[in-house]
Structure 1
């Protein structure tokens, strides 16, 4: 039987070659300091505590230490994709630096995980990275309506995004994304340039929550659910 060789369509080959640099960029391990912009991820702590239940970090979820929006991470990003774990082993985080972050990243495990996974792609210096995390967090105004909730609240992702934009002049619609788990609001992701100014990030914006409405659990327990 004769072997039939089919020609690879020229247009498909050209498309594959055109996309290869972006695919390689999104999938490479990465090098410290080589990235395009940051994503500041602000997690709604009550959603994490409720979703995780008994597995949640006590330092974050104990009733004696209630938290609202906390820093999940400051993530170096490419225009498409992102680097991870750029130094292995990751440089040691001095204890004073670690402790200094616990008011906004209320878990030692979270601080160390974010450093290993994301911080090492920003800089080999943990003190410099967490200083930047602090400055990024302090550069964003949390809307008054979301500084504390005493009861469950139903919101639309658009409502949350609009509140953040109103509280932060210059924050455009393509610079912020609201994330959810289908039922709960999980976090707000804000894109920043390397100088920590607001920045456009179409790829992050495309991954935003598509639910019409989601619940925000209260900072302190409530007796009624929506």
Structure 2
């Protein structure tokens, strides 16, 4: 019985520490997530009839988010005294995020934990996105492909020699390339990813749908 009580106490302390940690500005580094737009559309966006998926948009790697991260785990939905962004501020993020709705969602879930104002968080997301060179070859993908997931990382590594292989990772979903994630310090310098973000997708034939 005493052992059980100690275990329960440890669990409760863990939850308490997590709750205390979920406060604005209390995190270790950022994870910037870039998603392959056409694959997101195939998996989710088409069912939503999302304008991001309209033919002729020409979107390749769009910004999914810039997430405050702990070495293990992450804060989310923090309480903040900062005001939410207005519609105009969110709409201005659509060129790199595909739509204003995603920008506002990312602010609510992750941006409030950054310790920044909404305007500064949006500008920080844009600065992070612009710090990475999107390999030009991706804009030329005019037919659906199946490629090793490692090829995606190879392409980004070649175009961004300042980012080491352990500072980025590729994720897959339902057999398709999902995201490229890059780990950044609070001042947006590449850094080694944490233990729970560093694992790469190992698929040899991951789907990559053509640019729309």
TM-score (norm 2): 0.87
Secondary structure, aligned partner of 1:120? helix
Matched, 1:180 2:175: no
Q: Give the C-alpha shift of residue 158 in structure 1.
A: 1.3
Matched, 1:80 2:72: yes
* 4+ residue segments displaced more than 6 Å: 19-24
Aligned to 1:122: 114
Q: Give the C-alpha shift of residue 95 in structure 1.
A: 2.7
Q: Deviations over 1:68-119 (max 9, x none)?
A: 1100000000111100011279732123311211101112221111000000
Of 168, 190, 198, 1:198 maps to 190
Larger radius of gyration: 1
Contact 1:36 1:77 in 2 (8 A): yes
Matched, 1:167 2:155: no
Where does structure 1 lack aligned partners over 5 or more consecutive residues?
Answer: 221-226
Aligned to 2:60: 68
Where does structure 2 lack aligned partners over 5 or more consecutive residues?
Answer: none
TM-score (norm 1): 0.82
Matched, 1:108 2:73: no
| Separation in structure 1 between the aligned mates of residue 80 and residue 49 of structure 2, nearest angstrom | 25
Q: Deviations over 1:138-158 (max 9, x none)?
A: 000111222341111222121
C-alpha spacing 1:67/1:37, structure 2 compared with 1 (3 Å): same
Matched, 1:208 2:166: no
C-alpha spacing 1:88/1:122, structure 2 compared with 1 (3 Å): closer
